[in-house]
Structure 1
Amino acid sequence: MKSDMFQTFDSPTSPEQGPPRLAALRALMASEGWDALLIPRADRFQGEYVAPRDDRLAWLTGFTGSAGFALVTADHALVFVDGRYRVQVRAQVAPEFTPMDWPAQTHVAWLAEAFPAGAVLAYDPWLHTMEEIGRLTRDLPSITFRPVANPIDRIWPDQPAPPSASIFAHPLEFAGESHADKRNRLGRELAAKGEAASLITLPDSVAWLFNIRGADIPRNPIAHAMALLRADGTAVLLTDPGKCAEVADHLGPDIAVRPESDLAQVLADTSGPVRIDPQSTPQAVADMLAAAGIPARHSMDPCRLPKACKNAGELSGMRDAHLRDAVAMCRFLAWFEGASTTGLSEIDLVTRLEGFRRDTNMLREISFDTIAGAGPNGALPHYRVTRETNRRLEDGALIVLDSGGQYPDGTTDITRTLVVGDAGAEEKRAFTLVLKGMIAISRARFPRGVAGSHLDALARYPLWLAGMDYDHGTGHGVGAYLCVHEGPQRLARGGDVALQPGMILSNEPGYYREGAFGIRIENLIAVQPAAPLPGGDSRDMLDFETLTWVPIDRHLIDPALLSQDERDWIDSYHATCRDKLGPLLPEDCGAWFAAATEKL
């Protein structure tokens, strides 16, 4: 199933729309007797990316980042964002909204100081997890929490319709395991723990479990769906039955398809205990179970770790997808090196790169809106170019180009920083420090039990020595023809899940100087058992397999800042690029490719 939904460049919101919408919301809050309202980015599936119908935070505030939330009272409208979006939020919201630097500034601290005992805080229980509501009610015992039907939906006159894309089967050759085997294996784990069933609310977990894919969320091949997996391996798929016409035979007799509206009845018909994951299950589901008297067990979604640890079929598909994607990237880079940049803009780069990916004839869709930030726009880590922000390329400017593709056998995500003409000494220094951190992660070797939080500092250390840093994690998990951002694995200060073989992560340190330039270098890497070393003991160690094979711009490297081991790594990386990609590239890339992969 190919999609025609490629990137567009219209601004999804504008600041002037926010104040009248905020006024309408406050009028509704006053009529209902609510003192405050929480508006998260999340939908009822708690995903990072949401369908247009569920993009309530952007509709109200104008802020379009992938993480954040708002707190609205009669006198304040606070928009909480982390370091990735501090510059972006100021450009996107009207003065009536106050950006808050989360987590340094928290809504809990603000409410505790500003709100009297008994004040009413309204929230939609479908849009907040059990863990979140439990934490809020514990930390704010004097505030009255009131679950309500979503108020934004009541004042959004032209709210888009729910997505209704067809669900299709994910081939066994790419899934690597049949859905019957997955269901039975996980069902036995539930039975061993005395659990009758598990309610799975994350759509990418549902997609992985049943070997299905969909198109309800832009850029992510998933369907809006939940599932009840029973200990005997049978299951209920909760989604619009009209989406499932193509997969009836694929699902088979052990999977019943029911509409989402039947969820309460499906739970009531289950004897329990039912496993639910407090980190991803909406509070509304916990309320349903309690109302039905069904005992709940709190534990991780049973699909999350198996989904994260890719099997041999999934890893093979990801390797193939990355080689295909690397050819498209190299064609783009060869074009960029030879093109006259006079008159070119960020939009030109985005459309040209997407064109090369389309030329593979395997692209289903891009894996996220391409980030092409030139000059000061590159200092916005999650910048998305629009017709209003589109910047012409200027001599000496750095360009952060972060992009990826969704292919039937895998998902890609790659960032390369480019330069128009010659870079300045300061830009080269910063680039090389970022590169040193990226190499450190690539070369890391570590014992089992080490988590992403333990490795994150390796990427930052060269920058820290120079008094520099970046305000995002070093790496996120990546799915296999699934979501480009996948948990629970990550390379970040909060990444507390032990890394295991088969997990795929991004390796993307960066540096951003507001108003001037940005830098990021990103490869995808897979955790694998490490080969024994001469003279070592028998300790069970892990390291990383590199999946991304695209030259790193040598124009930006200051070799004097690299150790010999780091220079050897770069030369070895480029030699492997030659071996893997040389036979696949068209002739018109030859001269550029030979120069791009020369030894330092």
Structure 2
Amino acid sequence: MTRTRFQTFDDPSHAKGPERIEALRAALREIGADGFVVPRADEHQSEYVPANAERLAWLTGFTGSAGTAIVLADRAALFVDGRYTVQAPAQVDTRTITVVPLAETSPEAWLGTHLKAGQSLAYDPWLHTPDGLARLERAATKAGATLRAVETNLVDAVWAGRPRPPAGRIAVHPEALAGEGAADKLARIRAALREGGLDGLVVSDPHNLAWAFNLRGADIAHTPLALGYALIPVEDRAVLALTSPEFDPDLRGALAPLADLLPRTTFPGALAALCAGAARLRLDAATGSAALRSLVEAAGGVADVGPDPITAMKAVKNAAEIAGTRAAHHRDGLAVTRFLAWLDRAGPVTEIEAVEALEDFRAESGNLRDVSFPTISGSGANGAIVHYRVTRATDRRSEAGELFLIDSGAQYADGTTDITRTVAVGTPSDEMRARFTRVLKGHIAIARAVFPEGTTGAQIDALARLSLWEAGLDYDHGTGHGVGAFLSVHEGPQRIAKTGTVALKPGMILSNEPGYYKAGAYGIRIENLVLVEERPIPGGERAMLGFETLTLAPIDRRLVVPDLLGAADAAWLDAYHARVRERLAPDLDGETRAWLEAATSPLAGALA
């Protein structure tokens, strides 16, 4: 019997791109507007969205997780960040849509050039935050144009066969894994609201909703979320308004002491009732839509736009979440190591074969709930596409002398994983080895970092880039993102990046993933997940922090130039590999154990 896989390899279709753009322009003419903004977003600003919210992909063919299209009567543009500057032009019809790198031009600057005085730019207020809308308003005003909110999204109006909203099953996340009961979480949230002089909180982020009420759902792929909203008043009972109508008795029983459970369609009325008496409600700046702000204000409330306090609480994992994450990484390390041994023995394989093999190894544990994102499986030049997603049209077989980059993750009930390994197929070139070693040096620099309390991700991001900078090289993505506990593989607010302004705290989990990408040739990325921990230093004057590496899987020693790596970094690699062997070898079959022994043999001797 063939099991259901979590990942598909359908080809993104841009053959109908011009036809769909023209259909959207016809809808614009019907309402008398001159342009429409199509962000890659749902009403919660989620990274992964349900099928019915994949408006940008349907309209343009671009399947990346971030981007914005603007369609005017005479031109259309797609704005993407550095992860997608190679992918986007390959997926869209560039005769119809101009791909614009965000590093060169922002949507607002582009509008300033192309939007004309007297024109109107339409938008869906559910898909823009108040801050995002303010930027559009400034751009339109500068051009002498106006913004126009629409009640029905214009893409939805022309999208024949648009999927129905999700209706996945919702389950209670056990307190043994959550580490804290929902009632205690709600008490902490209310205390934070009182301290801020607020009367309540509108929870618009489904991740925060899941964490606060200890719920997990199945409304979108790869992240166990139940879509919907929550209202948490300081004094009264909370309200949960969920998209899915599947409220089983166990769920109702668990939530009965905490909240009223309502259908999503009743949410505006519940919000209006909470706003009575000019209540001051916190609206999350990151995920709360402009439409929510309008609902609050129309009902007489005050929309206090700022950070949802749940976000910071969720980022710091408790003892149970950390223990579950460690268990998930042990399980995942066994699967990834078995996969790497298989890949080494199999010789040249296709990208899809690699994805399916890795998923099979993870599924054999019996604990796999889903992959945590679509696996990035790139051989040769495809590895240089940072967020490459293999399809049946792009699938290629690896060849000798190439690199194979595979970035993948898993969702288990006790934790979320994310790991990237770059491996040699046959004999790598000297350039590949040198650049891999520089990436590895950056990875180790982060892993070994010790820093004072209050340090932000931006302050340590450069450590991962120094060795690359010395060779005139760099990469155009952040070095690390936050990771949830059986939640999103990309979780804020913590990150290691030039824009990482949040102080790192013990209990936060992040990725450590520097890279290098040579367009048209190969890509390199080395990723482990790390846990921020206290790191006391005898005789030190300040409280210090460091990282515990959670991920357990070998790093390809064949790609390391020992002299370039240096003795201290080689010692770190040997110690890491020794821990991988110690933890994983007892649970591996004999053939894989022998492969692991060879793959993790000491490197330091090569420096003698």
Q: Same fold (TM over 0.5)?
A: yes
Structure 2 runs not aligned, ≥5 long: 604-608
Q: Residues 71 and 79 of structure 1 are in contact (CA less than 8 Å); yes or no, is this contact kept in structure 2?
A: yes
Give the alignment of 1:327-346 within 5 angstroms.
327-341=334-348, 344-346=349-351
Aligned to 1:265: 269
Aligned to 1:80: 79
The yes-or-no answer on 1:290 pairing with 2:297 is yes
Give the counterpart of 2:259 among 255, 259, 273: 255
SS of the residue aligned with 1:355? Answer: helix
Deviation of 1:135 after TM superposition, in Å, equals 2.5
Give the counterpart of 1:481 among 486, 495, 509: 486
Give the alignment of 1:168-247 within 5 angstroms.
168-232=171-235, 234-240=237-243, 242-245=245-248, 246-247=250-251
Deviation of 1:195 after TM superposition, in Å, equals 1.3
Deviation of 1:262 after TM superposition, in Å, equals 1.8
Distance 2:120 2:480 in 1: 39
Deviation of 1:139 after TM superposition, in Å, equals 4.3
Distance 1:186 1:549 in 2: 35
Aligned to 2:606: none
Q: Residues 186 and 233 of structure 1 are in contact (CA less than 8 Å); yes or no, is this contact kept in structure 2?
A: no
SS of the residue aligned with 1:337? Answer: helix
Judged with a 3 Å threshold, the aligned counterparts in structure 2 of structure 1 residues 373 and 241 are, in CA distance, closer, same or farther, namely closer
Q: Residues 482 and 511 of structure 2 are in contact (CA less than 8 Å); yes or no, is this contact kept in structure 1?
A: yes
Structure 1 runs not aligned, ≥5 long: none
Moved more, 177-186 or 329-338: 329-338
Aligned to 1:536: 540
Aligned residue type for 1:97: I
Distance 2:426 2:380 in 1: 13
SS of the residue aligned with 1:393? Answer: coil
Distance 1:432 1:273 in 2: 54
SS of the residue aligned with 1:348? Answer: helix
Give the alignment of 1:491-510 within 5 angstroms.
491-510=496-515
SS of the residue aligned with 1:353? Answer: helix
Distance 1:427 1:284 in 2: 50
The yes-or-no answer on 1:31 pairing with 2:34 is no
Q: Residues 241 and 257 of structure 1 are in contact (CA less than 8 Å); yes or no, is this contact kept in structure 2?
A: no
SS of the residue aligned with 1:38? Answer: strand
Deviation of 1:65 after TM superposition, in Å, equals 0.4
Deviation of 1:233 after TM superposition, in Å, equals 7.0
Aligned to 2:314: 307
- Please list the CA deviations of residues 351-370 of structure 1 after superposition, one character each: whole Å capped at 9, or x if unmatched: 11100000000000111111
Aligned residue type for 1:174: L
Aligned to 1:444: 449
Aligned to 1:48: 47
Identity fraction in percent: 49
Aligned to 1:144: 146
- Root mean square deviation of aligned Cα: 1.3
- Please list the CA deviations of residues 37-66 of structure 1 after superposition, one character each: whole Å capped at 9, or x if unmatched: 100000001111111110000000000000
Deviation of 1:190 after TM superposition, in Å, equals 1.1
SS of the residue aligned with 1:86? Answer: coil
The yes-or-no answer on 1:431 pairing with 2:436 is yes
Deviation of 1:241 after TM superposition, in Å, equals 6.0
Distance 1:595 1:233 in 2: 62
Aligned to 1:109: 109
Moved over 3 A (4+): none
Aligned residue type for 2:114: A
The yes-or-no answer on 1:326 pairing with 2:333 is yes
Distance 1:477 1:194 in 2: 29
Deviation of 1:83 after TM superposition, in Å, equals 1.1
- Please list the CA deviations of residues 126-163 of structure 1 after superposition, one character each: whole Å capped at 9, or x if unmatched: 00111111222234423311111200010011001111
Aligned to 2:7: 7
Q: Residues 418 and 511 of structure 2 are in contact (CA less than 8 Å); yes or no, is this contact kept in structure 1?
A: yes
Deviation of 1:532 after TM superposition, in Å, equals 1.9
Aligned residue type for 1:337: D
Q: What is the number of equivalent residue pairs in this alignment?
A: 593
Aligned to 1:519: 524
Deviation of 1:115 after TM superposition, in Å, equals 2.2
Q: Residues 240 and 258 of structure 1 are in contact (CA less than 8 Å); yes or no, is this contact kept in structure 2?
A: no
Q: Residues 46 and 127 of structure 1 are in contact (CA less than 8 Å); yes or no, is this contact kept in structure 2?
A: yes
- Please list the CA deviations of residues 102-133 of structure 1 after superposition, one character each: whole Å capped at 9, or x if unmatched: 13211211211222333211100000111111
TM-score normalized with structure 1 length: 0.97
Distance 2:8 2:360 in 1: 13
Distance 1:50 1:39 in 2: 14
SS of the residue aligned with 2:330? Answer: helix
SS of the residue aligned with 2:84? Answer: helix
Judged with a 3 Å threshold, the aligned counterparts in structure 2 of structure 1 residues 406 and 233 are, in CA distance, closer, same or farther, namely farther
